Amino acid sequence: MGVSDEFDNENDAPLPPHERTWRHPAEVSNAMRRDHALRATPPPIGRRATALVAFVSIVASATLMLVTVQKGVSDPVAEPTETTTTSLPSKTGGAGDVVPAVRAFADFYVVPTSALKGDATEILPLEGNPFDAEVVTTIATKGISIVRDRSTKMPSLPLDAEQFDTPDDAGSFVAVDRTGHRFTVHPGLESGIMSNASSTSGTGNWHPLDVDGIIDGVATLSADNYVYAIAVRHDHMHFGILLADLATIVNDAIAARNG
């Protein structure tokens, strides 16, 4: 029998890798894969190195925030307040509040009754200085009150209602409400042109109005820069009353007070 070599295995069993010189391609591939994995795996980092890396990361993050975030961003930002065309105070009245009003004539002003809160209400006319209000009369059907300055003497003579002109042919008016907003106003279809037909009901002759906006409570109505009437918003509708009719209501209230 001749001399056996690694290709002549007497036991018909595969030789282990260390006893043969050749390698199967799969063995070569596995060896190369293990070798690559060993080289790609970074060496373990000690505890001190890990703590140092974490500390450096925290410091870097804090520095970045200080540089990029603007100063004062964390401060609370005040909510923007509602702006109007004037610098008048709040529209709703309360104890100690100043209530905007419109001047009807002489020393008499018109305000929504709901804005009056007790006897200490201070009135601020659209033009003029504030004053402590005295209620002359209230027209409940339209939700308004006529007030005057309590520091002045109540007139004993009636107002001359005939001094107020009538807009005979005015097709539109300019309304300026108690906050200073301006609107275009047309007489309602049911009333046509405003007339000076005085009412005997004691509450005046009211005319429906067509307004291109929403009046804040009360407003003056003018044409050609002359005030003819007072406009009122009540129950989601707009109405107008001529100054002559309003003067008659004031006269009745003064007469009733003087006895």
Tell me what pLDDT residue 249 has: 92
Where residue 47 falls (left for φ over 0; alpha for ψ -120 to 50; beta otherwise) is alpha
Confidence check: pLDDT of 11 > 90: no
How far apart, in whole angstroms, are the C-alpha atoms of residue 187 and residue 172?
7
Amino acid at 89: P
Q: Tokens representing 131?
A: 């004053």
Tell me what pLDDT residue 241 has: 92
3-class state of residue 110 by DSSP? strand
Please name the residue ranges forming H helices in 41-171.
47-68
Tell me what pLDDT residue 45 has: 61
Per-residue pLDDT tens over the stretch 108-154: 999 999 998 766 689 999 888 899 989 999 999 999 999 999 888 88
Per-residue pLDDT tens over the stretch 159-214: 887 788 877 666 789 999 999 999 999 886 444 445 544 444 456 789 899 999 99
How far apart, in whole angstroms, are the C-alpha atoms of residue 113 and residue 133?
12
- Which of 124, 117, 178, 179 is closest to 149 using CA atoms? 124
- Which of 142, 209, 220, 213 is closest to 178 using CA atoms? 220
117-138 core/surface letters (b: 16 or more CB in 10 A; e: else):
eeeebebbbbeeeebebebbbe
Confidence check: pLDDT of 87 > 50: no
Contact indicator for 175, 183 with CB cutoff of 8 Å: yes
Per-residue pLDDT tens over the stretch 28-66: 777 777 776 767 666 666 677 777 777 778 877 777 777
Tell me what pLDDT residue 81 has: 44
Neighbours of 171 (CB within 10 A): 9
Tell me what pLDDT residue 41 has: 63
Tell me what pLDDT residue 69 has: 58
Residues in a beta bridge with 112: 144
Q: Tokens representing 38?
A: 């060993």
pTM: 0.59
Tell me what pLDDT residue 155 has: 81
Mean pLDDT value across the chain? 76
Tell me what pLDDT residue 42 has: 61
**Residues 64-80: what's their mean pLDDT?**
54
